[in-house]
Structure 1
Amino acid sequence: MRPLQGLIAIMFIILLLLSPVSVFAEESVQPAGEQQTMQPAEQLPDMPNSESAILIDAKSGAVLFAKNESERLYPASITKIVTGIIALEQSDPSDMVTVSKNARGEDGTRIYLAEGEQKPMLDLIEGMLINSGNDAATAIAEHIDGTKEQFAVRMNEFVRKLGTWDTNFVNPSGLPDENQYTTARDMAKIAQYAMQNDQFRQVVSTQSKPWVGEEWVSKLENHNKLLSSYEGAIGVKNGFTQAAGYTLVSAAERGDMELIGVVLKGATDAGVYKDMTQLLDYGFAHFTSSLYMEADEKRSFVSRDTGKSMEFTADRPFWVTIKDGVVPDVAVDSNGRAFVQGSEIYNPSETAAALVPIVPLAEQAEVQIASVTKSNPLHETSKSSGWSVGVTIAWSVMLLFMLLSARIIYVRQRRRKFYK
């Protein structure tokens, strides 16, 4: 009897090792798109002095650093990023805009538009984004929607589509209002979207440009000092009001990497630029952007949730942000959601993806590999499926063997009792 029992035990252990059932703990891979509040990594020696800050990779959306990134604060003139991208997308740059009395008399920074003056839409966009003209912002809003208030409705609808839920606008320029607020996290998403527009990129990277108006003949001077002081800076907008403090959204690129930083409620003008410089330096020094799949590239993955081989098509370039020296591991579920992790996990207990060692990543933005092609019969009999079927058969054989063995043991025990 003992040899038979030993054989049964050995076969049972072997089948447990082969089984796809979760006998051993699976390595933690967390879905992307969730937020964390993290502490600064040791490579970033000083916490930004500004109230709120964030640094993201513009291509993958990965958050490389965050401080109070979801705190609602006043935006000041970085509001004009939203006004600018809406104007470029939803009007013709050659449209002639007539300046109203309200626009002519707008408060704050102006490019001195005259009442009744007519300017092409693109000129006003440049006057707003380069020289921060509040009068230009109002003229744009009134041309598109009739009033600033109605344009603000459009602004809010626009940013909701980008997945920003802690932002609200009541005017197109950023003039103080207790109901006009945003977060560093939301502004990073907005800027990431806006910088995908080539004309927007060109405008916000312009340092100066001649201006000829009815009341003002001069030059538009970009108020974003980083354009002239930081290597690779390409935008985007700064701002200031007494209520908001100093605000700054910046973009910079070096090689294949493009970073976007947001700093809100800085105490001084010099302070926000110091914070931004430190954030960008940190990102470029310790991270790399890798193109994992080209747009429209097809690749087969074994789906994490079904175990079947499926073909996926990337609906846009699929970039992955990693700490230097870390090789990313990418898995895909049957809905086309990508899950990214490095060779080590920074904090597997947190719900975030693409975490890499010793780095305060808040998230790797969820990448949707769209146009999922359903598996055909050939795919469904792939190695993965064959393995699963093979193990199922083995389990069935094993169960039958164990039942027969139990029957033999039972019969032998009955015989022994009978002949005693």
Structure 2
Amino acid sequence: MRQLSRRTGRAWIAMTTMFLAWGGYASAAVPADASAPPSAQSEAAILVEQHTGNVLYVKHGDERLYPASITKIATAIIALEQSSMSDIATVSKTARGEEGTRVYLAEGERVTMEKLLYGMMLNSGNDAATAIAEQIDGTKDKFAERMNAFMRDTIGAYDSNFVNPSGLPDPNQYTTASDMAMLARYAMDNETFRQIVSTRKLPWSGLEWTSTLENHNKMLTDYPGATGIKNGYTIAAGNTLVGSAERDGMSLIGVVLKAGSKNIAYADMAAMLDYGFANFGVRMLFAEGERYKLQDEAGDAREWIADKAIWGVYPKNASPVLKVDMSGQVVLESERGTFFAGELSPVKKEVAISAFSGQAEAEGMQAENTAAESSKSPIPVYALGAGVLLAASAAAMARRRARRARYPFMRPYDRD
């Protein structure tokens, strides 16, 4: 599994929401005193910061809705992890006969996994999605079982159910904006996936069709800094869109579900991204391998290390303070709220405490950080009382343990 310690399943949404509530945030998970958040017209929408998963805006984030072709995000990342780009798939009669958007694969045609992935993600080829599923698991049904296990056990997303790899309408195919945001965060960590979904055009030559594929995701051409990822449409689902963009070192991911039109979907996405970039910033709080020490009133010391870089989100025009509790959880606090940043891991006992320097005090406790702190960021560092984040920590740990243990449709087609 890739970088799953950063993702605590549903906990990363729940914990963020809880912290924002403590900081006086509105129900839409945005600061009440910041510039007005967007008012999404889509049925459900969410905006998250990619490094941390902090929710910057949400509307009906847990409402179950049809995904349409954004289903293919799951199909693509699973394919990248379960196969090689050079693998050859033989197109079946089932794949050849898929309805909706296609890349017009011929029955018996032999196609590389790489070509299928580009055909699926750029041109939203339902035939390519089925060919991928059959190559990996033999049938669409078996692949759907893999998709659902992947969403639960790897992503930590419990409100999604897939019965096909393409997003073609089915009463039992559904997801939520929150689940899709978690999936998109995971997928966008994969370099090959990012390369595919950021590709605007690609020549296509098959047995039955020769063309130039143009990415259906218009964010790539219309929104400055856009980096991906996938759009979708069915009559039952309406317009769906997962978008990502990067500016000034901050990466944002947005999801909109059941938009009334394509224009509404893109307008909602642009408004959310604009809001995020205008009102929030991100910075590295701990470099990978950086160490930290806490000492309580009784003199008991605990040492921590960052297994990977930990980033923090903060409202602009605020004075954020970095705080660490005795369980190793890291947050950024400011007058505009508290944002969960990540978790430090305990250092083995044989590592000497005296190896660390630097000290700060707060709430009757002492915190020591590496010398890199002062040169890396002007954010003050404090220690939190051991019980402040106890409930959130327990919830996150429970989710990780659980993850480790393993509406009617109107028309049978999907056109982006």
TM normalised by structure 1 equals 0.75
Distance across 2 between alignment mates of 1:229 and 1:275:
13
Q: What secondary structure is seen at the aligned counterpart in 1 of 2:256?
A: strand
Q: Which residue of 2 aligns with 1:331?
A: 323
Greater share of strand: 2
Secondary structure of the 2:76 match is helix
| CA positional deviation for 1:183 | 0.7
1:32 aligned to 11, 15, 19, which one? Answer: 15
Unaligned runs of 5+ residues in structure 1 are: 1-30, 347-352, 355-363, 389-420
- 1:263 touches 1:272 (CA, 8 Å); kept in 2? yes
The 1-side partners of 2:276 and 2:37 are apart by 13
For the pair 1:88 / 2:58, whether they are aligned, the reply is no
1:56 equivalent among 48, 61, 68: 48
Match of 2:232 among 226, 230, 239: 239
Partners of 1:234 and 1:253 within 8 A in 2: yes
User: What is the CA–CA distance in structure 1 between the aligned matches of 2:123 and 2:63, rounded to whole Å?
Assistant: 28
Q: CA deviation at 1:255?
A: 1.8
Match of 1:220 among 203, 213, 233: 213
Q: Partners in 2 of 1:302 and 1:196 — Cα distance?
A: 35
CA shift for structure 1 position 333: 3.4
In 2, distance between residues paired with 1:68 and 1:146? 36
1:240-389 matched pairs, under 5 angstroms: 240-302=233-295, 308-342=300-334, 344-346=335-337, 353-354=338-339, 364=340, 367-374=342-349
SS at 2:292's partner residue?
Answer: strand
4+ runs of 1 displaced by more than 3 Å? 31-37, 39-42, 305-309, 371-379
Residue 242 of structure 1: how far off its partner (Å)? 0.6
**2:172 is aligned with 1:189:** no
The alignment-based identity, stated in percent, is 51
Q: CA RMSD in A?
A: 2.5
> Cα deviation per residue 1:145-167 (whole Å; 9 max; x = unaligned)?
01111101111111112111111
CA distance in 1, matches of 2:49, 2:316: 14
Where 2:127 maps in the other structure, the secondary structure is helix
How far the C-alpha of 1:33 sits from its partner, in A, is 4.5
Question: Displacement, 1:194?
Answer: 0.4
Which residue matches 1:146? 138
Deviations 1:116-135 (A, max 9, x none): 00011011001001110000
- Any conservation in 1 of the 2:302–2:346 contact (CA below 8 Å)? no
Residue of structure 2 equivalent to 1:173: 166
Contact 1:211–1:218 (CA under 8 A) maintained in structure 2: yes
Q: 1:50 is paired with a residue of what secondary structure?
A: coil
Secondary structure of the residue that 2:342 maps to in structure 1?
coil
Alignment partner of 1:135 is 2:110? no
Quote how far apart the aligned CAs of 1:377 are.
8.1
Please give the per-residue CA displacement for 1:26-85, whole angstroms capped at 9, x wherever unaligned: xxxxx9345678146562365110001010101111111111111111100000000001
Give 3-state SS (helix, strand or coil) of 1:228's partner.
Answer: helix
Letter in 2 for 1:112: Y
- Evaluate the alpha carbon distance shift between residue 377 and residue 238 of structure 1 in structure 2; reply closer, same or farther with a 3 A threshold: closer
The within-5 A match list for 1:386-397 is none
- Considering only CA atoms, is the larger Rg found in Structure 1 or Structure 2? 1
Name the amino acid aligned to 1:57.
E
What CA deviation, in whole Å up to 9, does each residue of 1:352-382 have, x standing for no partner? x41xxxxxxxxx4x62222434497866xx9
Aligned to 2:149: 157
Would you say the 8 A contact 1:32–1:339 is kept in 2?
Answer: no
Displacement of 1:104:
0.3
2:193 pairs with 1:200: yes
* C-alpha displacement of 1:98: 0.6
Residue 89 of structure 1, CA deviation: 1.0
Distance 1:203 1:133 in 2: 14
CA distance, structure 2, for counterparts of residue 57 and residue 273 of structure 1: 19
Instruction: Flag structure 2 segments of 5+ consecutive residues without an equivalent.
Output: 1-13, 366-416
